[in-house]
Structure 1
């Protein structure tokens, strides 16, 4: 682990636009002062994480058998067998392995009130305005094409899955159970009310703390991964190419550097109570743009110091498992390898707790936080069935399981306590989760919530277990943003966050308005309060607000500078899908991919930090 260099140059008092200082000798990963022209210089198109296909081969749902969608197939216990493929036997007195007792019909009750807004109308983009969130600008179509090209490049090149990191920060040596890009995997409080820990700064107008320059990439076909970021009271840690760097969260000074054997593939959304995070990396350094190594290595490290605790891989049949996601629950690090199964390690020692065994059932992936939830697949190709299971954090024993109907080949965990997960109800959806299921503590279905396709603004990654953005759970409610629609003013757009009861499935009547030309989406829960991000029009800064869980009153916690350069840099991160972290008056946005700029005068960043005190 290298020694910390002296603090790098920070943005000058005059803000963005001051002459650029010489980049620190540490190369990529060291913050730098703004480039010539400030953040207003042309930006690299946003690096939206490519939507790679899941590892499960494409399937054609079989003809309906028995009750239609929304009800479970008859649950016939399997033949007697030994321990469940790497897991201890189900505790005595419970039904057979993975099979809970009688449940209400799948999807019951479905008392959706039909709340939803029509699709937003197309509004002419304003020339020269930075794009992203609720802003209007000419570059959106170009960026969408760029994202699609990036996704194709990864698929053709044998690309890997990438996971964003936590949406919530944590204190050093304290636990964090935030979620990816806005989830709250650990869930929220069960009752309504306030009690949040985030306080209103004396001055909510934020200054730029630092910005991390993107690595120098010469090959136009090269797309490198910098997936993973973590935030504590004192450290902001961000993955670079073949390393993780820890920065002082207030100044950007480099505190430590952790070298890695290869590029990062996924980061744990959580930091453990002992201050440890986990990351999945490729097994070696890439020789060229197309030399993608397998994402086989799992590493645990201390966020405060950068100390590596261990690195492990799993080779059940001579070929290492390729992990797509990693999550922490208690003292367990659980990594999912999709169709090939999952494995778990002791957080402190790296001891293998379980791994795939020969058989017809495998764990597709896990979601951690306060509880550990697995998505398990059984059966041969073309005849698979899936089940959502609550596991014992230490042993992997199944506490309860909820079987999904045949033909459903995905499940996205939104919260682990309470357990809330979503499914795709069709072949192609705009959000990745149109049906959301709320479970009680015994594994019985409480209710099903239907999120009409195209009416809501959340997003769940394809082939991922814990990669939903812009949707969260708290106060026994599901919070989800609507798509943008016409505002009250002429040629304005807006949206709102609404909530559904996890007990009844009905909308609660809560409506958190963004305001004309703003777009709002949930970040995470803060006690009984909801933290939300608001992107504004071309001449207003982005905001972080705290929404009282009872009164719905919005309190501004932070607002970024409204200069063109800052807004352009923020929008290039695509906030809803970026690594978005907020705690204690500080907001950090990070990318998980880096590529070559389109021209030599373009400046690209992998992370931005803002602070209000």
Structure 2
């Protein structure tokens, strides 16, 4: 994936102090504008760059701790595909096989540990992520469970002919049977809103296992739009990271300010002025409505880009800044890359180390020590506080993933990643899930080739999940932001991630699915939520035991919010946005991989994380847009 150019006025690296500096710049880069039309399916990465062979489609690689002994018998050979959809010779009668592929536990050829062989069968043939067509066999003498069942020659000929026909039309059968109709209504492992979810209106109530209410009519309207702020003269882009919801306001970072908007009307309830732009923000909010940001001490100029030295706590309920602090490494003020909140503590990390303060008072809890040979590059917050601690020199790096006491910084447990992994992102702190691009093998700029499920109490690896970049669509920034991941959710001791887009069955359409991995075994659970023809689905967050997801729309419809039952994977539509072109243009410029998306109780807020002047002067740009149902 082509990466966007970095914004100008990057702050300089801290010279000569603290541990070795990462080559990455301090500031994040503006995301590329998402396409207005569905894109083609991305190509696969150079698998030869991976440090070890990929064992299977979405299954874990061999863990770093010695795994259980592999089966001693070699795996059976993979069946050869019929070749461009037609059999090369009359097929032989075969016993029926259950469907396999995207999200289904298949009875397919297996490699070590019972995992399906990667790349079998070929793309475009039944089996490449799609269920193969099967024909049920008639009962044989002996009854179910009996032995000695035989198929006579006449029956074998009939079955072989039927199988041949099924193979020819197999690709088309998949799209018909996964359209949210008929078969899928009775298949709890694959019930999906194949038509975009219009047939799943419940007429009120709450979705099973969650708090989000199901409206009688999910059709939404635009509540308000926030125009993109005017940039200072000579500035091409400025970070606007940070958006939060309270029971009264939607708060959003602007240029050197945070503004609280009425949730329904969009009128300004309060404004917090900052001396300089926001550099980073955490999504976590304390019970009393406080959160944390990193910002610059002044507005940047061409000659002085300013560093991200200020850590501030914001009171979202009162609409005011509570305190602002800095920390030093040696004699230099630290320029922080990331910030989070956990257990009454604000923690911020950088290439010069990490520091922490009490949320309530701003009292310093810890700061980098000049004698340290390792340093905290960043933290993940929320239910627990997790530090990503870097040791060793560049390209010989070892990351220590530490669950720490938020009051003292003392290490509770620690997991050491294999040497050579330079960056890792915190997906979830409880349960603890990390993402990393091992050996730069993802190949798509997503920052993810593998997920690591780790026991918080012992620091032991529970399982490692392989997630090749050409097969899965989640993204993580483990370079600077540490806990900034999009397109995934963790709950029910499972990891929910979307597949990459693939042909939907329409002439030019694309679609994808959400699949689930068990965090104790690393294996897919068999649950799958289909986006539906020409839609693309992305997890947003958990709602109790349910998954909230956003559906990117096709060219002639609006996006949707759906609730996916954590048990049955049945989808319920909570919101469907207007399909008018002007509204859709704004919505599709703020997609999950490049924007902040918040949904709560019938209200959806989408916002940019950069303000820029890259657009033409005759185009009206927006910083945020809000939708609501009746």
Same fold (TM over 0.5): yes
**In the alignment, which of 585, 593, 596 is matched to residue 610 of structure 2?**
593
Change (3 A) 1:107 1:285: farther
Change (3 A) 1:106 1:277: farther
> Within the alignment, does 1:318 sit opposite 2:318 as a pair?
no
The residue aligned with 2:601 is 584
The residue aligned with 2:477 is 461
Distance in 2 (CA, whole Å) between partners of 1:421 and 1:119 is 30
Contact 1:544 1:557 in 2 (8 A): yes
What is the correspondence of 1:495-574 to structure 2 with a 5 Å cutoff? 495-574=512-591
The secondary structure found in structure 2 opposite 1:576 is coil
What is the correspondence of 1:221-260 to structure 2 with a 5 Å cutoff? 222-260=236-274
Tell me by how many angstroms 1:560 deviates: 1.1
Contact 2:514 2:539 in 1 (8 A): yes
> Within the alignment, does 1:292 sit opposite 2:308 as a pair?
no
Tell me by how many angstroms 1:364 deviates: 0.8
Distance in 2 (CA, whole Å) between partners of 1:111 and 1:576 is 33
Contact 2:328 2:368 in 1 (8 A): no
The secondary structure found in structure 1 opposite 2:585 is helix
Quote the RMSD (CA, aligned, Å): 3.0
Change (3 A) 1:453 1:549: same
Contact 1:120 1:483 in 2 (8 A): no
Tell me by how many angstroms 1:104 deviates: 5.0
The residue aligned with 1:136 is none
The secondary structure found in structure 2 opposite 1:478 is strand
Change (3 A) 1:239 1:322: same
Change (3 A) 1:261 1:217: closer
The secondary structure found in structure 2 opposite 1:567 is helix
Aligned residues: 458
Distance in 1 (CA, whole Å) between partners of 2:364 and 2:340 is 15
Distance in 1 (CA, whole Å) between partners of 2:387 and 2:491 is 21
The secondary structure found in structure 2 opposite 1:573 is coil
**In the alignment, which of 361, 373, 392 is matched to residue 349 of structure 1?**
361
The secondary structure found in structure 1 opposite 2:329 is coil
> Within the alignment, does 1:447 sit opposite 2:463 as a pair?
yes
The secondary structure found in structure 1 opposite 2:333 is coil
* Long gaps (5+) in structure 2: 14-19, 25-48, 53-60, 71-111, 126-206
* Long gaps (5+) in structure 1: 1-45, 73-102, 122-192
Distance in 2 (CA, whole Å) between partners of 1:610 and 1:479 is 25
The residue aligned with 1:210 is 224
> Within the alignment, does 1:360 sit opposite 2:376 as a pair?
no
Larger radius of gyration: 2
Indicate the larger mover: 532-541 or 48-57.
48-57
Distance in 2 (CA, whole Å) between partners of 1:585 and 1:315 is 44
Tell me by how many angstroms 1:573 deviates: 1.8
Change (3 A) 1:525 1:114: farther
C-alpha deviations, 1:47-95, integer Å up to 9, x for none?
Answer: 999799996238xx9x99xxxx9565xxxxxxxxxxxxxxxxxxxxxxx
Distance in 2 (CA, whole Å) between partners of 1:585 and 1:107 is 50
What is the correspondence of 1:302-313 to structure 2 with a 5 Å cutoff? 302-313=315-326
Change (3 A) 1:598 1:268: closer
What is the correspondence of 1:349-388 to structure 2 with a 5 Å cutoff? 349-358=361-370, 359-381=372-394, 383-388=396-401
Distance in 2 (CA, whole Å) between partners of 1:223 and 1:534 is 28
The residue aligned with 2:625 is 608
The residue aligned with 2:214 is 200
Change (3 A) 1:454 1:522: same
Q: Which has the higher contact order (CA 8 A, sep 6+)?
A: 1
C-alpha deviations, 1:440-498, integer Å up to 9, x for none?
Answer: 23221111110123111111125031111101111111111001111133332110000
What is the correspondence of 1:95-106 to structure 2 with a 5 Å cutoff? none
The residue aligned with 2:83 is none
The secondary structure found in structure 2 opposite 1:426 is helix
Contact 2:386 2:403 in 1 (8 A): yes
C-alpha deviations, 1:235-286, integer Å up to 9, x for none?
Answer: 1011111111111111111111111111000111111111101110012122
Distance in 2 (CA, whole Å) between partners of 1:543 and 1:208 is 13
The secondary structure found in structure 2 opposite 1:340 is coil
The residue aligned with 1:56 is 22
Change (3 A) 1:294 1:581: same
**In the alignment, which of 265, 285, 295 is matched to residue 281 of structure 1?**
295
Tell me by how many angstroms 1:354 deviates: 0.6
The residue aligned with 1:494 is 511
Change (3 A) 1:513 1:263: same
The residue aligned with 2:451 is 436
Distance in 2 (CA, whole Å) between partners of 1:404 and 1:371 is 20
Contact 2:291 2:313 in 1 (8 A): yes
C-alpha deviations, 1:17-67, integer Å up to 9, x for none?
Answer: xxxxxxxxxxxxxxxxxxxxxxxxxxxxx9999799996238xx9x99xxx
Contact 2:421 2:439 in 1 (8 A): no
Distance in 2 (CA, whole Å) between partners of 1:221 and 1:447 is 46
